[in-house]
Amino acid sequence: MFDFDVVAGETVRNILDGRRPEVIGIVGDAYRSHEAGESLNPDSYFLRFPEKPDSRIIALPAYLGADVQLAGIKWIASFPRNTRAGKPRASAVLILNDYETGYPVACLEAANISAARTAASAAVAATALRPGGFAGTRVAIVGGGVIARNICDYLHAAGAAPDAYVVHDLHRESGEALVEHLRGTQPASASFTDDLGTALGSETVVFATTALEPYVTAPFKPGQVVLNVSLRDLAPEVVLSAQNILDDVDHCLKADTSPHLAEQLTRSRDFVTGTLAGVLNGAVSVNADQPVVFSPFGLGVLDLAVGAYVLTQAREQGSAIQIPNFFGETRRW
């Protein structure tokens, strides 16, 4: 009961990169468990810095029952200025706690876990909201960072096979890097465009930016699927003109996300069509008469589900690092 393991980033990445279809299934199951009330997912807590308004460190506590039976917390920093020095924007750790005793059992490098669960969430949504498949369509990626790269990898693992990708990023070098990644990993053609409008005309549009406020003001067209992963790119009017699928309604309607701005504008939640779990369970449906926007706030239960899987795999393959005598006292007396 007093075992404590550390799982390093390289191990996490190797496990996840080789098991993307399994991770997609884990994330889908976690959504269903959350919808069924088998989890606790309190509000995230934001540590902000007055002199760095674009930077924050977020605590995401959660508990996931079902087959996981773990509590835990992800502590994730987002410092966009890191990218100017060629460093990743985000860094994170995940602490997992045993549900029976409350004792922590492991610490995992979690930037890779966070990116994987975010990308798997996007893949689950994309395939659920475009059940007819992606043949004959284009996928646009707005933002060319780590999350965007992971989303593309997970879309591929989910069987989403568009004819072409088009990438847009204000930082052309990042966008071109993603294009090269796509050309080396997927059969679809890939190209960069510096024209946002060209990207926004695609049948599926993925937003993975660091935008702090909306800049997309034109409504999307019927049949378009929008994965609003970065949450703050869309003006509220764009949200109100679409069918809106959220990961969790209460969580997503806060912190000035695009759906939250829509709620503030209308003083209503009537624009919310339902949750992704509702779509997966068949309780919520969308139609082709309006565009569909999926907005995932990002749930800590997803980190727990993916983290628990990584820990199990690391222990089985002997790559978890055991820390002897981590706890100073193991008896009351």
- For residue 234, count CB atoms less than 10 angstroms from its CB and return exposed for 0-12, middle for 13-18, buried for 19 or more: buried
Q: Tens of pLDDT along 12-28?
A: 999 999 899 999 999 99
Question: Could you give the maximum distance between any two Cα atoms of the chain, in Å?
Answer: 69
Residue 32: how many other CB atoms lie within 10 Å: 16
SS3 141: strand
**What is the rounded distance in angstroms from the CA atom of residue 64 to the CA atom of residue 54?**
31
Residue 95: band (very low, low, confident or very high) from pLDDT cuts 50, 70, 90? very high
Q: What is the pTM of this model?
A: 0.94
Domains of the chain: 5-113+300-322 (3.30.1780.10), 121-295 (3.40.50.720)
**Buried/exposed 292-303: b ≥16 CB within 10 Å, e otherwise:** bbbbbbbbbbbb
Query: Is residue 308 predicted with pLDDT exceeding 80?
Result: yes
The predicted structure's pLDDT at residue 84: 85
Examine the pLDDT at 1 and tell me if it is beyond 80: no
Q: What pLDDT is recorded for position 87?
A: 87
For residue 85, what are the contacts with CB-CB under 8 A and spacing of at least 6? none
pLDDT of residue 86: 84
Residue 143 pLDDT greater than 80, yes or no: yes
Could you report the per-residue pLDDT of 264-286, keeping only the tens digit for each?
999 999 999 999 999 999 999 99
Token pair, residue 2, equals 């007093």
**What average pLDDT does range 90-101 have in this prediction?**
96
Q: What is the pLDDT of residue 80?
A: 86
